[in-house]
Amino acid sequence: MKKIVTSILLLSSLLSSAQIDIEKVLEGNLQDANVLLKNYFEPFPTALSYGMNTGWYSTAKAHKLFGFDISVVAMGAIIPEENETFKFNNSEYTSISLDDGSTSASIPTFFGSQALEDRPLLAFDVGDGITFSTSSLPGSGIKSKIGFNAVPYAAVQLGLGIFKNTDLKVRLLPKQSADEYEVSAYGIGVMHDIKQWIPFVKRLPFSVSAFFAWDNIKTKSFLDSQKNPNQALELNSSTFVYQLVASKKLAFLTAYGGLGVTSFNSDVNLLGNYDTQNNTYKDPIRLAYSGSSFRANAGLSMKFLFIELNAGYTFQEYSAFNLGLGFRVR
């Protein structure tokens, strides 16, 4: 679990290791800095949110009254290749432009290239006729290390049968704190057997349920806890998923899948005081993200006595995979 938490907080590791010089980005003006960083960071909260929306179920069959399951679920959303860069347009900025005189260019997002040849020079106008140029921001380098870009997530999950073939699901990533970070997450879901209410559907040889879930994560990463304890990167995200789910049990195997929609709202905030040549900024960066996507998922679970292992894949804007290992009692 600690490795998953560390990966979630990778966003701040570049900042704290000075690969991203925030003060330099702020030299132009605050509005331009927010536009630039919103485009740069966008794949991270988007992928984290879409990944969080997966792995909630491994069957459409609800528990009997007070039946339960408890499991550890690991998830990950994959960054599409087209989101490794974004289009920088001079027209969107007042104090930042491409140094070579071009009007637009593709530059790396957080998941893009670290190579200097892939990072066009940006010119910053700091006023009084003073300008300086520097390479556009570097990517994280994750792809060069593992062969693809992904954002992982993990949680402990509990399901309980309550009434009328309805399951209540609770998800938790217990709060963890260190000198460098704080992180916690929690969520709730409800799955209800709709087959019981539709006469002709009752006869179908598989289970059908409706599912809804909400999930939330809060993280705070301290960029330099020794020298500047007030400087931190905060990320908060809330996700929603609405789905129809079907499953079929064959011996110890259960195949499951579903269709629905998913959405999220996230914010990334840079907190603390930051000094430039001309200004001191307090809490300078406030970035808001939202999105929604149609989704379809499929998976397979295997149960041996009370132990269950499951795996699934979700097709959506940022497709995701999930693995679960748990204990289930009907």
The larger pLDDT score, comparing residue 134 to residue 145, is at 134
pLDDT band at 221 (very low <50, low <70, confident <90, very high): confident
Lowest-pLDDT choice from 47-61, 138-152, 196-210, 302-316: 138-152
Per-residue pLDDT reduced to its tens digit, 46-82: 999 999 999 999 999 999 999 999 999 999 999 999 9
Whether the CB-CB separation of 295 and 241 falls below 8 Å is answered with: yes
Domain extent listing, the chain: 2-329
pLDDT for 293:
97
pLDDT for 9:
52
Nearest-angstrom CA–CA distance, 323 and 310:
6
pLDDT for 31:
93
With H, G, I as helix, E, B as strand and everything else as coil, classify residue 92.
Answer: helix
151 closest CA partner among 201, 92, 76? 76
Q: Is residue 12 pLDDT above 50, yes or no?
A: no
Token pair 């040549």 in the structure block, residue:
277
DSSP 180-231: SEEEEEEEEEEEEE-GGG-TTGGGSSSEEEEEEEEEEEEEEEEEETTTEEEE
- Average pLDDT of the chain is 88
Q: What value does the mean pLDDT take over residues 153-159?
A: 92
Kindly report whether the global pTM for this prediction surpasses the value 0.95.
no
* 274-283, Cβ contacts within 8 angstroms, sequence gap of 24 or more: 274/22, 274/23, 274/26, 274/231, 275/23, 276/23, 276/26, 276/27, 276/126, 277/27, 277/126, 278/27, 278/126, 278/127, 279/26, 281/26, 281/30
With H, G, I as helix, E, B as strand and everything else as coil, classify residue 116.
Answer: helix
Nearest-angstrom CA–CA distance, 70 and 160:
9
Nearest-angstrom CA–CA distance, 33 and 20:
12
Whether the CB-CB separation of 262 and 293 falls below 8 Å is answered with: yes
Q: What value does the mean pLDDT take over residues 110-120?
A: 89
Q: What value does the mean pLDDT take over residues 104-121?
A: 91
Task: Assign a CATH topology to domain 2-329.
Answer: Porin (2.40.160)
